[in-house]
Amino acid sequence: MKFPYAGLPSFQIWARAVADRPEGFIDPQHAARFTIDRNLRISSAGSCFAQRIAERLRDAGYNYFVTEPGPMWETPEELAARSFGAYSARFGDIYTTLQLLQLAQRAVGAFSPQEPPWPFKGGVVDPLRPRVEPQGFASAAELEADRAEHLAAVRLMLAESDVFVFTMGLTETWCCTADDTALPLCPGAGIGTFDAQRYAFRNLTVDENVRYFEAFLQIAWRLNPGLRVILTVSPVPLAATMEPRHVVQSTVWSKSVLRVAAEEIRRRHEAVDYFPSYEIVAGGFDGHDGFEPDRRSVSTPAVDRVMLSFFHAYAAQGQRPPAALLPQAVVPKPENDVCDEVYFERFLEENSRA
């Protein structure tokens, strides 16, 4: 019998794919299951890192599909401060597969969370999108009207997108004990009030992540049978962990769980692909440091490498943007960054020291 490793392509052998390469960018994405034409509608959701991907798709001339663009009379700065355009709809950061599933269920009328609005600055905020309206809503009625428009936009996104990119961010989450509603931000972090009887910590397993994402796929594919999906894992470490262990251990555990779950989902569904943004940034195999001095923020050169790989794998023939254009696509993050994890990290720095 022929030795099974004989004749393997170079990208499958470490010595040829990594060790023998000069220091520089090593692209771990060998091939993609499908390509993306500039005419296709691309939508996305996920953790903070997903915002960087959305920026690059727009600036490279791809058809980034936004179903909730915001009021026409507001300036780009005002729209950005209110989370319009950061993602395809104004859902804010979606860190877990459970949060994504429940968003889709709400959009099709299959789930109605029991959690009431949270008081804020004389008005209220949506506990499922606590930071999309910086000054809050004037009343619960105003919040409900905005929520109805938002969920209609989510349904439209799912029904009319050609490709959906989801960046898996976290396994740790806080849920309402009444109905297991997943929250994007722990109550009490400057918004809402923590109550141990009302909120419980969960750390989602591989099986749970697979189950929740497949349930999301069932909803999406009922609305849109031709939808193709790209999964990726955010390389951004946890800002904090509720597990009684070092935050580095929790980060590696969480990202490992998500990576295994993503691969299991990919194996089960031909219309789902995996893109290795986590490996490119956090792996360090090409000799580059992918992080800023805080060891959490992904550096601009690292985002460049991620998107070079993405376009190399997925861009339709003749539609790959010039590499020189990619670094110009990142804009400086404002001080009031809409990312919930950035907000949470700053809140911890100011309030969590004993």
Cβ distance 211 to 101 under 8 Å? no
State the pLDDT at residue 246: 98
What average pLDDT does this structure show over 283-287? Answer: 83
Segment 39-49, tens digit of pLDDT = 999 999 998 77
The set of residues, in sequence order, having a beta carbon less than 8 Å from that of 244 and lying 6+ positions away, is none
Averaged pLDDT for residues 292-298:
88
Q: What are the tens digits of pLDDT across the range 69-105?
A: 999 899 988 888 888 888 999 999 999 999 999 999 9
Confidence of residue 324 (pLDDT cuts 50, 70, 90): very low
Please state, in angstroms and rounded to a whole number, the distance separating the CA atoms of residues 132 and 93: 10
List the domain boundaries for the chain.
30-351
**Average pLDDT over the chain, rounded to an integer:** 89
Say yes or no to pLDDT of 300 above 50.
yes
Q: How far apart are the first and last CA of the chain?
A: 65
| Among 84-88, 137-141, 178-182, 199-203, the least confident range | 84-88
pLDDT digits (tens, 9 = 90+) for 99-123: 999 999 999 999 999 999 999 999 9
Given the structure tokens 């994890």, which residue do they identify?
Answer: 341
Residue 181 region by backbone torsions, left for phi larger than 0, else alpha for psi between -120 and 50, else beta: beta
Which strands sit side by side in the sheet containing 163-168, from one edge to the other? Answer: 42-46, 163-168, 228-233, 272-274
pLDDT for the residue numbered 338:
59
Of the pLDDT bands very low, low, confident and very high (cuts 50, 70, 90), residue 330 is very low
pLDDT at 325 over 60: no
Whether residue 206 contacts residue 257, with contact meaning beta carbons closer than 8 Å, is answered with yes
Distances in whole angstroms, Cα of residue 160 to Cα of each of 104, 153, 223, 230, 299:
14, 10, 8, 16, 33
**Rounded percentage of the chain residues whose pLDDT exceeds 90:** 62
Residue 298 to residue 49: CA distance in whole angstroms: 8
311 pLDDT more than 60: yes
137 close to 124: Cβ distance less than 8 angstroms: yes
- pLDDT score recorded for residue 225: 98
- Cβ neighbours, 10 Å, residue 266: 17
Please determine, for residue 308, whether its predicted confidence score (pLDDT) is greater than 80.
Answer: yes
CA angle 85, 89, 95 (to 5 degrees): 100
Cβ atoms of 113 and 176 within 8 Å: the answer is: yes
- The mean-pLDDT minimum among 85-89, 244-248, 314-318 falls in 314-318
pLDDT > 50? residue 163: yes
